[in-house]
Amino acid sequence: MDLERQYVLQNYARYPLVIARGKGCHVYDLEGRRYLDFITGIGVNALGHAHPRIVKVLREQAGLLIHSSNLYYHQYQGPLAKRLAEMSGLSRTFFANTGTEAVEGALKMAKAHGRAIHAEKYELVSLDNSFHGRALGALSVTGQAKYRQDFEPLVPGVKFVAPNDEAGLEAAFSERTAGMVMEMIQGEGGICPLTPSFAGKARDLATRYDALLIADETQCGVGRPGTYFAYQRSSPVILPDVMVAAKPVACGLPLGFIVANEKAAAAIKPGMHGSTFGGGALACRVALEFLDILDELLPAIQRVGGYFHVTLNELARKHGFVKEVRGFGLMLGMELTVPGKQIVLDAVAEGLLINCTHDTVLRFLPPYIATEKEVDQAVRILGKLFAKM
């Protein structure tokens, strides 16, 4: 911790905890103290820690081939892209490393798509309260002043609309719109789902104005909402033109991706985009194993997520300072009328890892392997902390 303070850029506000190892739903500090991990590296460690099937594949592949660049083929990109196409209902994948990098690529896709139609078709629509990453393009479509203000001016031509404001959305679209980006469930913004009606309107407007609808599933996707992707929750499915995701897909190895339909994919021609590390053999092989395991876990995500939602609601009813419980599957938030930071610190001391977003929203992103037993354990700790308030 001392060396971090002395030598590492001081951009993070870390909790006073050094994590040494993890197993299943728990992590352990240097003294061997155990913590129930209900934040999973912000939604990354979806299979918990040291999952035997992931460890086996990692060991095997690390001894064969870790990286070969995109100058050549390896055995795993093609099968993984096929798998993602089947899961998403979209067609072609670009492999990146992070959510931000995937968002950047999707924005370039929208810009190139617009520009091929006419030079003035470069505008992007995004939502207030959104979060899409911290690179300059992703920041330009992030609808929260606190992340943007030190770096302005950003990419021009972005219009922000309040989530679920259908009239505002209609007014923001025009023939100049190249694309719209949205999170079906806003994550950093405080676990705020879009209404199916608003998402459907976004789909209709994007189609009417020949703009690309981009679903940012970095936090709300890849199994977490109880479906493969959050846009698949509504019936009929609101299919975007482009989807980006990252976090859990390679169980802690950096891997992000864009999946696009043929129309959107056609905007990117050879040489227009790339990534040295994107889609390496090790990350892709782990992702294939992860997706096999995910198929087995989806029913449990729905069941345990539903149980967690109900028990959080029961807790909420007992405490006047809880405003609302929101979310789907294993992506849940509890909005308070008071700041959540101290609760998060006290939870660490009690052996529970969660975090707080948007100042007043306790955020829960448990591993997909969590059961009712771990939920009970987490809610018991929260109940104890709430009783003291």
Ligand X SMILES: Cc1ncc(COP(=O)(O)O)c(C=O)c1O
| Segment interacting with ligand X (CB under 6 A) among 216-224, 287-295, 306-314, 374-382 | 216-224
Enumerate the β-bridge partners of residue 185: 193
- Position among 45, 126, 219, 275 found at the interface with ligand X (CB under 6 A): 219
Question: Which residues ranging from 349 to 368 are in contact with ligand X (CB under 6 A)?
Answer: none
Told to check if 61 binds ligand X by CB under 6 A, we report no
| Segment interacting with ligand X (CB under 6 A) among 214-222, 291-299, 319-327, 376-384 | 214-222
Name the residue nearer to ligand X (CB basis): 113 or 132: 132
Told to check if 107 binds ligand X by CB under 6 A, we report no
- Position among 99, 137, 252, 279 found at the interface with ligand X (CB under 6 A): 99
For residue 200, the 8-state DSSP code is H
Tokens of 20: 């040494």
Name the residue nearer to ligand X (CB basis): 225 or 316: 225
Tokens of 239: 């299919």
Count of residues touching ligand X (by CB under 6 A): 15
- Position among 40, 98, 126, 232 found at the interface with ligand X (CB under 6 A): 98
* Residue-wise DSSP of 99-156: HHHHHHHHHHHHHHHHHHH-TT--EEEEEBT----SSHHHHHT-B-HHHHGGG-S-SS
**Min CB(228)–ligand X separation in Å:** 16
Tokens of 208: 């009417």
| Segment interacting with ligand X (CB under 6 A) among 127-135, 206-214, 261-269, 346-354 | 127-135
Q: Which residues contact 122 (CB under 8 A, 6 or more apart)?
A: 111, 114, 115, 157, 176, 178
Told to check if 183 binds ligand X by CB under 6 A, we report yes
CB 47 within 8 A of CB 370: no
Told to check if 182 binds ligand X by CB under 6 A, we report no
* Residue-wise DSSP of 281-321: HHHHHHHHHHHHHHHHHHHHHHHHHHHHHHHHHHHHHH-TT
Told to check if 374 binds ligand X by CB under 6 A, we report no
- Position among 22, 48, 114, 187 found at the interface with ligand X (CB under 6 A): 187
Told to check if 45 binds ligand X by CB under 6 A, we report no
Q: Which residues contact 10 (CB under 8 A, 6 or more apart)?
A: none
Measure Cα distances from 84 to 245, 292, 339 in Å. 11, 12, 39
- Position among 188, 241, 289, 335 found at the interface with ligand X (CB under 6 A): 188
Question: Which residues ranging from 128 to 147 are in contact with ligand X (CB under 6 A)?
Answer: 131-133
Contact positions vs ligand X (CB under 6 A): 42, 98-100, 103, 131-133, 183, 187-188, 216, 218-219, 246
